[in-house]
Structure 1
Amino acid sequence: MNLLRFSSGFAASLLLTAMVTPASAQGLLHYLPEDGIQVEYEGILTQATGVEDEAPLTWNRELIIRSVGQEDAEFDGVVQPCRWIEIKVVTGKAGAQGIVPGPVGSRVYKVLVPESRIIPDAADEQTIPNHLIPIVRGYRRLGEESVEELNAQALRIYPTLTLLTTYDNPVPQGAPAPPEILKKDISVSAQQMKGQFVMERPESRSTNDGEYWVTREVPFGLARWVVTVTREAKESAAPRSDFKVVSILKVDMKLREIGPAESELKTP
């Protein structure tokens, strides 16, 4: 795609699609941009043993979402427009040539998704939560392994690709405003949202606190997100008051770049 054509076309699309974001918006993929566009994010992932841990483990992370093709395909017995979506996550230490992921720190997924299932809501009309994206077919490459076909009917976003999950009744925080991002040549207006999801068993509890900024001015709908996952444990027969923190994961991802997309995963 010609970069000048992309830049002018994307700028025009911002004017046409800018609007108030739905209050229920959540997930990693909120809206579909025109085909051939990608969005890049960069941030820091930390893992601590507790709130008083002064030396948490730290990694750099980047996430890229691409729209790399359109085709009609059958889904739920109906032939309908679908989109090839490619999502790449790299986690490792920053080096002179970018993030050094090691043998297992890179994941690339390429999936054919019904366009009707890319929605900004907590669940679709079949009550499938938004962190599960229904797919027609798909492929993945984990680290340095060969590309393999997915044997699944959905792509699980959390925690495979992001710590963002589906939250119970996320709450808008004030009016839309420009969030902190890494891309310097644009300013976007986004709705800040906060949500929480708690999963508890007799012996463990995981609390996911998400803060994210949603906008139609960025392809796929996100400008930034900050997520903290606190994991606690206790003996299964002990009272809930005995839960103790065993780890805290936190990630802060910010918009880095928007540009033309080209598929990285070579598939049949």
Structure 2
Amino acid sequence: IKISAYQEGNRVFITVSDDGKGLDAEAIKQSAEKKGISTAGLSTQEIQELIFHPGFSTADKVTKISGRGVGMDVVKTKIQELGGTILTKSEENVGSSFRLSLPLTLSIIPALLVKVETHTFAIPLSVINKVIHAKAEDIKEIHGGEVLVENGKTIPLIRLEDQLEMMHDENASSHMVMVVIDGTEYALSVDSIIGQQEIVIKELGKEFADQSDYLGATIMGDGSIILILNVTAICLERKQASYV
């Protein structure tokens, strides 16, 4: 059995797969017809997904742990209640794969807490490559905006105080959070690094619907609220601006 998980945009994808005998579409079809469930015109995959139908089972006997047709129905119902989906892919005598898609706002993720001016923000660790301290001479101005020169490479620089419309303190120390988005590396300029912490993502209200810079928020142990940066949106905006 293999389990994998990854984040893409504002969704979390979890895949559970095995190398078992797979779902027998013919057995599922016969069981469905016995229960009065029409299978006319259904594809093989649609027939396989009948396992999520309430009370559906292909077991000949009901035991203490199987045959009641409850398990998969409960799984799908709970995922839908969370705003997610589940997809099935199965091949007989090869194995089965179940792919769950869930909103990121239900997740607990490791994040890096940073200071930008007097405000604290969270950056998901999944997009961070490394953190460095930059010197003033390593920052250059080019046509597409500022870049950080590191080991002979020019890396697009994003000053978060500007992106988030804050006042820039020229005397503040500049740490660079290096992130990779769509295969491109970017440098996010912050004033200081607080440290790593696992956080629970809370969805923002409709008042923030037009704020693409934020994925959500988290509540800290002291009751303070910290916004979680949508690094993908911030970096892609920088990329688009460089072509204008």
Q: Normalized against structure 1, the TM-score is what?
A: 0.23
Name the one with the larger helix percent.
2
Q: Normalized against structure 2, the TM-score is what?
A: 0.25
Name the one with the larger strand percent.
1
Q: Could you say which structure has the greater relative contact order, defined with CA pairs below 8 angstroms and 6 or more residues apart?
A: 1
Larger radius of gyration: 2
